[in-house]
Structure 1
Amino acid sequence: MKTLLKNLGVILVIVGAIILILCFVNGNVNDNTTLGTSLLLVVVGLLAHIIINKRITE
């Protein structure tokens, strides 16, 4: 469980990046909801990665 928790931030960043790539491939770059969601996932993932890895030590 600790391994999943430590990688949660990275997973969120990757999911956000995949959403951005899929939007680009499909040509759906004008939908602000999808782009905002992916931006939110990337930012939350980055913050989660920093905060969680400061708190969890092995």
Structure 2
Amino acid sequence: MDGTQVRLEDATGRNREVVDPQAWRVCGSRPGADQQITSYPVVLLVAPAAESCPDGASG
């Protein structure tokens, strides 16, 4: 996969732009773990490293 097939999305629902991905942690994904990728982009649900992942952010 190249970068155009992956999108980073604020898992907290605050719609913040992810400028520095290294400052964020992955909380979940769509499709979720153990699910087959059937369409793109794959979405990584992320939160700032200084914050906890929200409940239900697993995708």
Same fold (TM over 0.5): no
- Which entry has the higher C-alpha Rg, 1 or 2? 1
Alignment TM-score, normalising by the size of structure 1 = 0.24
The structure with the greater share of residues assigned to strand is 2
Select the structure with the greater relative contact order (CA < 8 A; seq sep ≥ 6). 1
State the TM-score, normalizing by the size of structure 2.
0.23
